[in-house]
């Protein structure tokens, strides 16, 4: 494991490169979901474990879940995503 700290893009910068966040099935683990982030060129930037993100954001009303999860992800786009 690397000791290098992960740096995240500023929210505004992440908004400029992220085109979509898709909930998808993990092809290596049945019954496991991931949230895949795509850029404006439809290329995969990174992914997040669905259950871990829900755990991080804590309990939220189901009607607000999508917005809260999207906001969390947009604030956690790694800075190396600009290099893709």
pLDDT in tens, 14-35: 999 999 999 999 888 888 999 9
Residue 22: what are its φ and ψ, rounded to 5°? -115, 130
Note the pTM of the prediction, 2 decimals.
0.89
Of the pLDDT bands very low, low, confident and very high (cuts 50, 70, 90), residue 46 is very high
Q: What is the DSSP string of 27-52?
A: TTSTT-EEEEEEETTS-EEEEEEHHH
- pLDDT at position 3 is 62
Kind and range of the H or E run holding 15 = helix 11-17
């Amino acid at each position: 494991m690397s000791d290098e700290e992960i740096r995240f893009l500023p929210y505004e910068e992440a908004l400029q490169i992220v085109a979509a966040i898709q909930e998808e099935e993990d092809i290596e683990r049945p019954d496991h979901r991931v949230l895949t982030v795509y850029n404006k060129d439809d290329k995969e930037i990174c992914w997040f474990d669905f259950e871990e993100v829900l755990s991080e954001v804590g309990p939220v009303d189901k009607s607000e879940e999508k917005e809260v999860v999207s906001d969390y992800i947009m604030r956690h786009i790694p800075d190396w995503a600009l290099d893709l």
